[in-house]
A and B are shown apart, each in its own frame.
Chain A
């Protein structure tokens, strides 16, 4: 398993995946940092008070985090989807599986290596963005490490789904399903919020339960919570449940049981991936 994980990390470096991710992160951070700094300067020129500026920067940071969340989701899908399927399609897997290794070693090793890549990417890009914004605007979000941890968790959930699908489906189909699932989960979160505003209990129930089925949106709310200043939460209180319809707002962190479930979900999906490959004929 460790052999495969190291091989996967080796592949990420050799195939310039790490170099591309680092470069894209630097470009994104420079551009968004520049944008945030310009907006702060403009707001100051127009006489905005420091609290208004800080609230504005915090919301921009949340939007930037969403961009990173989207990019990470795509990265997880595109790395995970061919991880097993690509090896089987190309024939690389056959020569490896004819060795005395367990198929679980291949699946878990692949997952471990790719989780390290997306986890480090989430941590690196997220914390660098927070640091640059803090340096340029003076705004430091309340819990940046919590936000980054949820960001990494969200990516790993998507990666695990991609890997599970990759044991049975061609790479492109697995990747496409992951992207659609990510979008649907996000929309389900919005529907749940809107449903609560209008008292549509069935809609709320269906949409909220979908979080347990595929926990990416619930984890995204954890990212938002980690970046949301208390002042915004306090101020949004007057909107009551209506504020929850906003996918870029979170008044509370995801419940502990949801976080635990997300970990269990990843373990179950990984176990299913192992079973799936174990029963597949290559």
Chain B
């Protein structure tokens, strides 16, 4: 396989231990070229450690991997990678355009391209009118926007974003999703490290859910979310009704809510008719896949807050991409 054909990221059995603490425990995953890959996990799951290993900021205890065809830690390959750290801080005494120029120089970009890079990157993240202001006067959200702009200079082939919306308001978050799509449209892969499930759900092509340093699930969003289901709020449930519904698939009851999973969405009208025929009174019907949140909690074997809420999440449809 040549360098250009290699995936954006490929790691096998990557492990990292810090004096007895296991941060990563045999991480194996592949991120294809040009895809937006969501790397999900709770706090302390090893997400940032994984990013640092990919960038060569830390060394793996064991395992191997490559980024853009080069082994982990290869310095020269960083020219083709953009990175927004989780802890984003830039020289507060420099102006925004000077910070971009500094990173152009560190990224070894030709000086003739700096002006365009400064204008493009600051324009893309909405800081064009603040280009001449010192970073020290920026809010946290603006500094994160600046960091995002820096991650995009030089048209990188892989953009690694570590919690890119942690300091942003809803408008900023929407902007970030739009920027991520722009980056993907340019052909770059995006490695999105996040614990914000809705963000990932809306923008990622594929995801991996990681916990305790291991991948618990990986694949296309639809694959990870599992089979479609229907959830109906019914009063007047009795054994005959549950038996009738059993003909459609596995049934779970939680109070007034009845969940049938899996269920072909085309059969929802039949389910409704069967409930009415059996004397049940229908108050609400939800059909679709499990939400990423419920899937996430199920994979991590953590009870969601409140059983009723869990039942609701179990059958709520996946949030549609805007």
Residues of chain A having any CB pair with chain B under 8 Å: 3, 7, 10-11, 14-15, 90-92, 94-102, 281-282
Q: How far is the CB of B67 from chain A (nearest CB, A)?
A: 12
Nearest residue (CB) in A for B93 is A14
Q: Is the CB of B91 within 8 A of A99?
A: no
Complexed CA–CA distance, A281 and B48 (Å): 13
Q: Can you pick out 14 interface pairs between chain A and chain B where the beta carbons lie within 8 Å of each other?
A: A10-B94, A14-B93, A90-B87, A91-B88, A92-B91, A94-B57, A95-B85, A95-B90, A97-B57, A98-B78, A99-B107, A100-B77, A101-B106, A281-B59
Q: Which chain A residues border B107 with CB–CB below 8 Å?
A: 99-100
0/1 per residue, B82-97, Cβ < 8 Å to A? Answer: 0101011111011000
Say yes or no for B113: interface residue by CB 8 A criterion. Answer: no
Decide: A3 and B105 in contact? CB cutoff 8 A: yes
Contact of B78 with A94 in the complex, beta carbons under 8 Å: no
Q: Which of A3, A15, A281 contacts B52 (CB 8 A)?
A: A281
Q: Max chain B CB contacts within 10 Å: which of A10, A14, A90, A95?
A: A95
Number of cross-chain contacts by CB at 8 Å: 62
Q: How far is the CB of A169 from chain B (nearest CB, A)?
A: 17
B317 → chain A closest CB, angstroms: 38
Q: Pick the contact of A91: B59, B78, B89, B108 (CB < 8 A).
A: B89
CB within 8 A of B85: which of A11, A98, A102, A281? A98
Please tell me the number of chain B residues within 8 Å of chain A, measured between CB atoms: 28
8 pairs of A and B residues whose beta carbons are closest in the complex: A91-B87, A99-B106, A281-B58, A91-B89, A14-B93, A98-B83, A100-B78, A100-B79
Chain B neighbourhood of A11, CB < 8 A: 91, 93
Is B81 positioned at the interface, with any CB of A under 8 Å from its CB? yes
Contacts of A90 in B (CB 8 A): 87, 89
| Residue contact A95 to B150, C-beta cutoff 8 Å | yes
- Residue of A with least CB distance to B16: A281
The answer to whether the Cβ of B75 comes within 8 Å of any Cβ in the partner chain is yes
Measured between beta carbons, the chain B residues less than 8 angstroms from A95 are 83, 85, 88-90, 103, 147, 150
Cα–Cα, bound, A96→B94 (Å)? 14
Interface presence of B76 (CB below 8 A): yes
- Contacts of A96 on B, CB cut-off 8 Å? 106
Taking the closest CB of chain B, its distance from the CB of A141, in whole angstroms, is 38
Interface residues of B (CB under 8 A from A): 52, 55, 57-59, 75-79, 81, 83, 85, 87-91, 93-94, 102-103, 105-108, 147, 150
Beta-carbon nearest neighbor of A3 in chain B: B105
- Chain A residues in 8 Å Cβ range of B88: 91, 95
Known: A91-B88, A91-B89, A281-B52. A100 touches B102 (CB 8 A): no
* Cβ–Cβ < 8 Å partners of B78 in chain A: 98-100
List chain A residues, Cβ under 8 A from B91. 7, 11, 92
CA–CA, A10 and B93, complex, Å: 9
In the complex, A94 Cα to B150 Cα: how many Å? 13
The answer on a CB contact under 8 Å between B87 and A102 is no
In Å, the complex CA distance between A100 and B80 comes to 9
Asked if A282 and B105 make an inter-chain contact with CB atoms under 8 angstroms apart, the answer reads: no
State the Cβ distance, B266 to closest chain A Cβ, in Å.
Answer: 49
User: In the docked arrangement, what's the CA distance between A196 and B88, Å?
Assistant: 57
Query: In the complex, which residue of chain B has the Cβ closest to the Cβ of A11?
Result: B93
Give A161 to B179 CA distance when docked, in angstroms: 45
Identify the closest chain B residue to A7 (Cβ): B102
Cβ of A83 to closest chain B Cβ, rounded Å? 13
- Additional A-B contact list (16), CB under 8 Å, known A95-B88, A98-B55: A3-B105, A14-B93, A14-B94, A90-B89, A92-B90, A94-B57, A94-B87, A95-B85, A95-B147, A100-B76, A100-B79, A100-B106, A100-B107, A100-B108, A281-B57, A282-B57
- Min Cβ gap A64→B in Å is 33
Question: What separation, in Å, do the CA atoms of A91 and B76 have in the docked complex?
Answer: 22
**B79, B106, B147 — most chain A CB neighbours (10 Å):** B106
Contacts of A15 in B (CB 8 A): 93
Nearest A residue to B49 via CB reads: A281
Task: Name the CB-closest residue of B to A13.
Answer: B93
Shortest distance between the CB of A92 and any CB in chain B (Å): 5
Min CB gap A129→B, angstroms: 30
A101 to chain B, nearest CB (A): 6
Tell me the complex Cα distance, A96–B104, Å.
11
- Taking the nearest CB of chain A, how far is it from the CB of B162, in angstroms? 10
How far does the Cβ of A87 sit from chain B's closest Cβ, in whole Å? Answer: 9
Report Cα–Cα, A281/B58, bound state, in Å: 5
In the assembly, what is the distance between CA of A255 and CA of B299, in Å? Answer: 72
**Bound CA–CA A47/B175 (angstroms):** 83
Tell me the complex Cα distance, A101–B89, Å: 18
Instruction: Give B89 Cβ to nearest chain A Cβ, in Å.
Output: 4
